[in-house]
Structure 1
Amino acid sequence: MPISPNQGSTGGGFAATLTGTGLTGATVVRFGAEPATITASSPTSVSVVAPSGAGVVDATVTTPAGTSNPVPFYYVLPPVVLDVSPSSGPVAGGSTVTVTGRGLATATSVLFGGTAVTPTVLSDSELTAVSPAHAAGEVSLAVLALGGSATAAGAFGFVAAPTVTGFSPLTGLPAGGTLVDITGTGLSTTTGVTFGAVPATFAVLSDTRVAAVAPAQAPGAVSIALTTTGGSATAPGVFLYAL
């Protein structure tokens, strides 16, 4: 006589169905010693709302003809979220986010704000989920599992794509070393600056300013591009390396 699902939250309150034969007139369904609430029954199935419990218990059905064979039911502890990494990603979505904690083996869904995605469960202590597209801002991340749910408030931030509006000065020596002030919006999460294909050292001054040191390059014109958590952007115009 199978039971579906065969595991659930220690707090109870979830629906379960036992199937078999000779179940006509079921009067009591027990999970261990605790009675469940019968919601529907037929000669081949009994639906119930499970009581609270812990560990592995025997589920049985009692009818006027007697008590059924026991079937194991597993009570699962609620999940716990300990860490979310990375903690931010672009508004376009697509970031692979690793969640670590406890009780994650039965996770069925991860919610970024109110948007649900299906996770890839790696172990009882780790899962990954790909962030969906979402408006900019911080959201809670919730894990839904058979044992219940866990929510980490403000655990993930959706970051808008940057814009670059200009830079100064417009020229520098091929030997490099020119300090270039780059302006725009959404620059606070800058992770890289390139002059042409050459990466530059940089410092984030604010959400609207980044200072970068032009690397050495051959004489000529190159584009300046920034990469942030929210995406990438190329500055208008070119930076000229000239003697």
Structure 2
Amino acid sequence: MPISPNQGSTGGGTTVTITGTNLGGATAVHFGSKLATITANTATSVTVTSPSGSGTVNVTVTTPGGTSNPLAFFYVGAPFKASLSPVSGVTAGGNTVTITGTGLSTATAVNFGTLSATPTVVNDSQLTVVVPTGLAAGAVGVSVTTAGGTNNGLSYTYVDGPTIGAPTPASGPASGGTAVTISGTSLTTTQSVTFGGVPAPFTVINDTTLSAVTPPGTAGAVDVAVTTTGGTATETGGFTYVAGPGI
């Protein structure tokens, strides 16, 4: 006589189906000493809503013909989440987040706001999940659902990827030192600015404007790249180094 699922929340409320023979007319289903609520019954199955409980209990079905042999049901506590890393990423999603805590081994879903993702359970204290595409930039609550219930309390921030245009001015001496302004979008979390792959000192003015000072370079056009927590934007050949005069 199988029971499915064979585990559920300590708070009760799990829909459980017991299959077997001669189950028609079931009058009671016990989880340990507690009665479950019968919601459906045929000659080969009984569906119930589990009562609250803890630990491992015996489940029996009583019909006019007697009481069945017992089956084991395991009560699982709600998960506890301790941390999430990283705590932000691109609105397009696709990056992998690690969640640590306890009671995670039966995790079946991780929700980022209203968006659900299927986790990969590493062990009872850790799982990983690929972040789904966000609806918009901003913070959303993160919840983990296990056989023991759902736990909230963590936050993840979706960040739009940056965009940039050519610096102003768009050229300067190969010796570097040119102060330029870079305009774009989603620049507040800028982590680096490079000219031809060489890091440049920069200042974030606001979400649409950066100022930077060109590092020394080689004569010719180079790519300008801005990296934020939302990704990297590149303006191909965006700045031209001009060789100094020689006599």
Q: TM-score, normalised by structure 2?
A: 0.88
How much has 1:66 moved relative to structure 2? Answer: 2.2
Q: Does residue 145 of structure 1 match 2:146?
A: yes
Q: Does residue 118 of structure 1 match 2:113?
A: no
How much has 1:121 moved relative to structure 2? Answer: 1.1
How much has 1:118 moved relative to structure 2? Answer: 0.9
Query: 3-state SS of the aligned residue for 1:26?
Result: coil
How much has 1:241 moved relative to structure 2? Answer: 2.2
Q: Does residue 16 of structure 1 match 2:16?
A: yes
Query: Kindly tell me: are residues 203 and 128 of structure 1, through their superposed partners in 2, closer, same or farther at Cα, counting changes over 3 Å?
Result: farther
Map of 1:1-243 to 2, 5 A cutoff? 1-134=1-134, 135-152=136-153, 155-235=155-235, 238-242=238-242, 243=244
Q: Identify unmatched segments of 5+ residues in structure 2.
A: none
Contact 2:222 2:236 in 1 (8 A): no
In the alignment, the residues of structure 2 paired with residue 8 and residue 23 of structure 1 have an alpha-carbon distance, to the nearest angstrom, of 22
Counterpart of 2:70, as a letter, is: P
Cα deviation digits, residues 149-183 of structure 1 (max 9, x gap): 11235x11111121224434434443445454433
Counterpart of 2:79, as a letter, is: P
Contact 1:166 1:184 in 2 (8 A): no
Q: TM-score, normalised by structure 1?
A: 0.90
How much has 1:5 moved relative to structure 2? Answer: 0.3
Q: Identify unmatched segments of 5+ residues in structure 1.
A: none
Counterpart of 2:37, as a letter, is: T
Identity of aligned residues (%): 55
In the alignment, the residues of structure 2 paired with residue 49 and residue 156 of structure 1 have an alpha-carbon distance, to the nearest angstrom, of 34
Q: Give the superposed CA RMSD.
A: 2.1
Counterpart of 1:136, as a letter, is: A
How much has 1:130 moved relative to structure 2? Answer: 1.1
Query: 3-state SS of the aligned residue for 2:206?
Result: coil
In the alignment, the residues of structure 1 paired with residue 213 and residue 107 of structure 2 have an alpha-carbon distance, to the nearest angstrom, of 47
Cα deviation digits, residues 189-225 of structure 1 (max 9, x gap): 2233221233334444432333444333222221211
Cα deviation digits, residues 114-141 of structure 1 (max 9, x gap): 1111111111111111111222221111
In the alignment, the residues of structure 1 paired with residue 211 and residue 55 of structure 2 have an alpha-carbon distance, to the nearest angstrom, of 58
Cα deviation digits, residues 37-85 of structure 1 (max 9, x gap): 1112222211111100011111111222322111111111111222121
Query: Kindly tell me: are residues 71 and 38 of structure 1, through their superposed partners in 2, closer, same or farther at Cα, counting changes over 3 Å?
Result: same
- The farther-off stretch of 204-213 and 55-64 is 204-213
Contact 1:120 1:129 in 2 (8 A): yes
Cα deviation digits, residues 84-135 of structure 1 (max 9, x gap): 2111111111111111122111111111111111111111111111111222
- The farther-off stretch of 94-103 and 189-198 is 189-198
Counterpart of 1:8, as a letter, is: G
In the alignment, the residues of structure 2 paired with residue 230 and residue 175 of structure 1 have an alpha-carbon distance, to the nearest angstrom, of 31
Query: 3-state SS of the aligned residue for 2:24?
Result: coil
In the alignment, the residues of structure 2 paired with residue 94 and residue 221 of structure 1 have an alpha-carbon distance, to the nearest angstrom, of 33
Query: Kindly tell me: are residues 125 and 43 of structure 1, through their superposed partners in 2, closer, same or farther at Cα, counting changes over 3 Å?
Result: same
Counterpart of 1:225, as a letter, is: A
- The farther-off stretch of 194-203 and 181-190 is 194-203
How much has 1:229 moved relative to structure 2? Answer: 2.3
